[in-house]
């Protein structure tokens, strides 16, 4: 805007000059000088000024792709650490539109952001040296960046890779130190894919993704990578999440009017019994009828860092003829777990509602550990409801989920985790 105004102003003077005493050539030269000064000024101002700088905050800040909504909220780009520098460019009722880089934007909830008036936006940001190393538990890929800049990550399979894009940054990385203490990372490299986007590729040694966490340690963007555990169920730490609880009652039985929250816990407890019996270290997100929101479930799970998370829910539909079992995952690297569980569940003569990918459910969103949501059957369908009410069914379902996890581990061991046995 300021540029256009400046030019209008100059042209006005040309017209005046041309009709009065000023020499035309002199005027043209003056105009050119002023025009170039004006555009230079515009260029220098272009970068920092239109933005309000802010930082991600809150419990579990999440970047979203757009303003789309469904009952679980808009599609998630991913969670980000707190303190990430974000440039606000627009605002809706509940969300800010933020600029990640020249060509990339995202939405963030207003409650997940605080304005940062103390930091001056720099004209450019650089990546510096990186390191790849490991300790007793994890591998770490660490990228030094000039500020805590936003990022997005995803999994790729076959071969397995972790991909990370860092926004608003230019590479000045000429040094990637790699130590033998890294056990799971095979290769690390980057490409500057756009003027201000650096794409990092982390190739993994194993086919199966076991999870990763991304956070800033100072100004080091750190990707902490989980190694493959011993592939025995007794050696794993398995979290079981009984859906709903307390004031969050979930679905209601179509004839019995039973509440979902009181039945998810029954399936969860049966699975807990089987796993504990095998010597597995089991964590329950709840053991009693209490209200815990999904964000708090995720935060406590991220502290516990299980090897696997199983969330148990009961489905519901406005159409009472819809019935059957379904499994859900968000990240493609975790799909094999859901495939194996669904395969075993279908042995119970339940209708196949399907394996659902890219699922936008908060407990499926973390990349930290493989997870599967199991919607056992529909409380809104009479046939399914009858089975859900039967205590014997709780036991057989728990048994099938256990068998599904076991099948998955066997497949991972054989290296063919993408086909259900």
Shortest distance in whole angstroms from residue 316 CB to Zn ion: 8
Treating both helix axes as pointing N-terminal to C-terminal, what angle do 260-277 and 391-414 enclose, rounded to 10 degrees? Answer: 50
Element (H, E) at 194: strand 185-194
346 token code pair:
């279908």
Among candidates 105, 94, 103, which has minimal Cα distance to 69? 94
d(C-alpha 199, C-alpha 221), whole Å: 13
Can residue 370 be called a binding residue for Zn ion (CB under 5 A)? no
Rounded CA-CA distance 326/19 in Å is: 81
Nearer to Zn ion, 86 or 239 (CB): 239
Among 313, 335, 394, 400, interactor with Zn ion by CB under 5 A? 313
Q: Pick the closer one to Zn ion by CB: 334 or 378.
A: 378
Q: Are strands 281-284 and 237-242 parallel, antiparallel or unpaired?
A: parallel
Residue number with CB closer to Zn ion (313 or 344): 313
Query: Closest Cα partner for 209 from 227, 182, 224?
Result: 227
Phi–psi pair at 20, nearest 5 degrees: -120, -130
Shortest Å, Cβ 412 to Zn ion: 28
Which of 139, 260 has the CB closer to Zn ion?
A: 260
Helix (H) or strand (E) holding 356: strand 352-356
Query: Of the candidates 245, 250, 333, 366, which one interacts with Zn ion according to CB under 5 A?
Result: 250
Question: Which CB atom, from 139 or from 241, has the smaller least distance to Zn ion?
Answer: 241
The yes or no reply on residue 253 touching Zn ion (CB under 5 A) is no
Smallest distance from the beta carbon of 284 to Zn ion, in angstroms?
Answer: 16
Minimum separation from the CB atom of position 238 to Zn ion (A)? 20
Residues 324-353, interacting with Zn ion (CB under 5 A): none
Strands, sheet with 113-115, edge to edge from the N-terminal-most edge strand: 76-79, 62-64, 105-109, 95-99, 85-91, 52-56, 113-115
Q: Beta strand pairing status for 176-178 and 76-79?
A: unpaired
Decide whether 182 or 377 has the Cβ nearer to Zn ion.
377
134 contacts Zn ion (rule: CB under 5 A): no
Q: How far is the CB of 313 from Zn ion (least distance, A)?
A: 3
Q: Which residues of 360-380 are buried (b: 16+ CB within 10 A; e: fewer)?
A: bbbbbbbbbbbbbbbbbbbbb
Residue of closest CB approach to Zn ion: 313
Nearest distance, CB of residue 260 and Zn ion, angstroms: 5
Q: How do 62-64 and 76-79 pair as beta strands?
A: antiparallel
Quote the CA–CA distance of 326 and 300 in Å, as a whole number: 25
Nearer to Zn ion, 224 or 313 (CB): 313
Residues 190-249, interacting with Zn ion (CB under 5 A): 243
For Zn ion, the closer CB: 132 or 401? 401
**H or E element at residue 401:** helix 391-414
Counting Cα atoms < 13 Å in the Cβ hemisphere of 157 gives 15
> Residues binding Zn ion: what is the number (CB under 5 A)?
3
Q: Does 306 bind Zn ion (CB under 5 A)?
A: no
CB of residue 325 vs Zn ion: minimum separation in angstroms?
A: 14
Shortest Å, Cβ 131 to Zn ion: 43
**Nearest approach, Cβ of 247 to Zn ion (angstroms)?**
14
- Pick the closer one to Zn ion by CB: 95 or 360: 360
Minimum distance between the CB of residue 263 and Zn ion, rounded to whole angstroms?
10
Report the Cα 110 to chain-centroid distance in Å: 18
CB of 231 or CB of 284, closer to Zn ion: 284
Please identify, among the stretches 82-90, 190-198, 309-317, 356-364, the one whose residues bind Zn ion according to the rule CB under 5 A.
Answer: 309-317
Rounded CA-CA distance 151/54 in Å is 15
Q: Which residues bind Zn ion (CB under 5 A)?
A: 243, 250, 313
């Amino acid at each position: 805007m300021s540029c256009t105004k400046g030019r209008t102003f100059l042209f006005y003077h040309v017209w005046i000059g041309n009709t009065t005493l000023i020499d035309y050539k002199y005027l043209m030269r003056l105009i050119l000088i002023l025009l170039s000064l004006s555009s230079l000024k515009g260029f220098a101002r272009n970068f920092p000024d239109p933005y309000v700088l802010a930082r991600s905050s809150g419990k579990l800040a999440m970047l979203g792709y757009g303003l789309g909504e469904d009952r679980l909220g808009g599609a998630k780009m991913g969670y980000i650490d707190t303190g990430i520098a974000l440039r606000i460019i627009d605002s809706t009722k509940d969300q800010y539109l933020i600029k990640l880089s020249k060509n990339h934007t995202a939405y963030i909830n207003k409650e997940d952001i605080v304005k940062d008036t103390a930091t001056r936006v720099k004209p450019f940001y650089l990546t510096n040296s990186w390191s790849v190393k490991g300790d007793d538990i994890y591998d770490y890929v660490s990228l030094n960046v000039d500020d805590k800049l936003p990022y997005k990550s995803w999994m790729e399979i076959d071969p397995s890779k972790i991909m990370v894009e860092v926004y608003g940054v230019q590479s000045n990385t000429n040094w990637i130190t790699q130590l033998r203490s890294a056990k799971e990372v095979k290769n690390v490299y980057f490409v500057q894919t756009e003027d201000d986007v650096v794409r990092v590729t982390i190739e993994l040694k194993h086919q199966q993704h076991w999870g990763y966490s991304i956070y800033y340690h100072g100004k080091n963007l750190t990707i902490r990578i989980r190694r493959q555990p011993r592939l025995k169920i007794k050696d794993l730490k398995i979290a079981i999440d009984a859906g709903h609880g307390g004031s969050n009652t979930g679905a209601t039985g179509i004839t019995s009017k039973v509440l979902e929250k009181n039945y998810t816990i029954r399936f969860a407890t049966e699975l807990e019994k089987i796993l504990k019996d095998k010597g597995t270290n089991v964590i329950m997100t709840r053991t009693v009828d209490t209200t815990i929101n999904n964000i708090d479930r995720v935060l406590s799970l991220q502290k516990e860092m299980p090897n696997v998370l199983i969330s148990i829910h009961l489905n519901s539909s406005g159409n009472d003829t819809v019935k059957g079992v379904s499994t859900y995952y968000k990240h493609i690297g975790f799909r094999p777990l859901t495939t194996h569980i669904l395969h075993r569940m279908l042995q119970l003569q339940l209708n196949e509602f399907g394996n659902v990918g890219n699922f936008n459910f908060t407990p499926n969103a973390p990349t930290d550990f493989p997870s599967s949501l199991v919607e056992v059957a529909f409380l809104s369908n009479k046939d399914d409801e009858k089975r859900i009410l039967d205590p014997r069914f709780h036991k057989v379902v728990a048994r099938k989920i256990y068998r599904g996890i076991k099948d998955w581990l066997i497949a991972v061991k054989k290296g063919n985790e993408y086909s259900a046995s």
